[in-house]
Structure 1
Amino acid sequence: MEKVLEVSKTKRRTYDDSYHNYGFTCMIKSGIEVPQCVLCLKVLANDSMKPHQLKQDLRNKHAEHMDKSKPFFEAKERELKQAKLDSTGSFHIQAQAITEASYALFYHIARDKKPHTIGETLVKPCLLECTNIILEDPAAQNIADLSLSDSTGKSMIDDMSADTRRQVIEKIKSSPMFAIKLYESNDVASILQLIVFARYVHRETIKEEFLLCSPLTETTTAADVMNLVSDFFSKEHLD
């Protein structure tokens, strides 16, 4: 009597564009879609293609990038794809330098409190014209590849802001003690903003840094202020 064996097929998961939010792109391995980290290039199994698992992997391996936005990971994916085209890695290095240059430009724009829209409307045209006059075509092409759009500018400034706050919070946590100062100020839309500064000890020196700015949209009682600060402390695990 012949025995028929039934082989159960494991359900194969498919890649979703939202997985960019967790730092993963998709590659084909043995005809199957598998997630690949755009930061460390690690390839996971197909059954790991679940939002909570990818997010957990990002938290465990690259906690410093947890606050990064989707455009940041998409830029890393483009660098990865360019690197695959060239075994020498020259494309990868070039793309990385272009991304770094974009961040450097938006850092100066944000530091001088200029509207980030000038990156695309003023800074890039000036750079292109000067490069065309002074340098050769390849250099001009690199300038043309700079991503200085309005949306990119906002994303990069948000990334740098989140990274700066993370550094300040880590220094506060390592300080033996710290204190906060609170101010209230109306913005241009007449919305009351609560501004918090922190004073702490870092390398035997007292530092004072901006910590938080959040609107008080309804009432502005002491309880509202206390709740807002308490929620922030809880979210950032500050004691």
Structure 2
Amino acid sequence: MPQLASYKCHRVARCKSPHTIAKELILPSAIDIVSTMIDDATASKLKAIPLSNNIARRIYDMSKDMEVQLNDKIRDNHFALQMDEATDNNKHCLLITYVRSLMPMI
């Protein structure tokens, strides 16, 4: 549960602010508010929220989750796959992939 709360702190990233703002300002403020409004025991649970600058781990976790969701949706369904590769003037390789599902992917 604390790790899920850590992922919910995406507002800091959207503001293009350093992660230290959440660690040094937002979390201590939230702890003060909760201890004042509710109690210290509940406020101490907020201290378990990990706020680190490990963006690569979060991106990896989110990409794995998207991969699992996609696999679940296309498993046992018919779909078409089209791939195209090209290089640009700087000899960068480009790969474009289109997946067309014959079943609505809601």
Same fold (TM over 0.5): yes
One-letter amino acid of the counterpart of residue 68, structure 2: R
| Contact persistence 2:2–2:49 (CA under 8 A) | yes
Deviation at residue 119 of structure 1 after TM alignment = 4.5
Matched to 1:167, the amino acid is Q
Measure how far apart 1:105 and its partner are: 4.0
Match of 1:140 among 32, 39, 43: 43
Q: Tell me the percent identity.
A: 20
Q: Which of the numbers 103, 109, 115 marks the counterpart of 2:10?
A: 109
Q: How does 1:150-189 map to 2 (within 5 A)?
A: 150-151=53-54, 154-180=56-82
**Aligned 1:24-39 pairs, distance under 5 A:** none
Q: Does 1:149 pair with 2:48?
A: no
What letter matches 2:48 in structure 1? D
SS at match of 1:205: coil
The code of the aligned residue for 2:60 comes to D
**Greater relative contact order (Cα 8 A, min sep 6): structure 1 or 2?**
2
- For 1:205, the equivalent position in structure 2 comes to 104
**CA distance in 2: counterparts of 1:135 and 1:146, whole angstroms:** 18
Question: Alpha-carbon deviation of 1:120?
Answer: 2.8
The residue correspondences of 1:13-28 to structure 2 (distance < 5 A) are: none
Distance 1:181 1:108 in 2: 36
Q: Structure 2: how far apart are the matches of 1:195 and 1:122?
A: 42
State the shift of 1:125 in Å: 3.1
Q: 1:196 to 1:177 in 2, by over 3 A?
A: closer
Which residue is equivalent to 1:125?
28
Q: Which portions of structure 1, spanning 4 or more consecutive aligned residues, are displaced by more than 6 angstroms?
A: none
The Cα offsets for residues 25-71 of structure 1, whole Å up to 9 and x where unpaired, read as xxxxxxxxxxxxxxxxxxxxxxxxxxxxxxxxxxxxxxxxxxxxxxx
- Structure 1 counterpart of 2:31, one-letter code: L
- Give aligned pairs, total: 97
Q: C-alpha separation between the residues in 2 aligned to 1:129 and 1:192?
A: 52
Cα pair 1:106 1:156 within 8 Å, conserved? yes
Rg larger in 1 or in 2?
1
Query: How far apart in 2 are the matches of 1:194 and 1:119?
Result: 37
Residue matched to 1:34: none
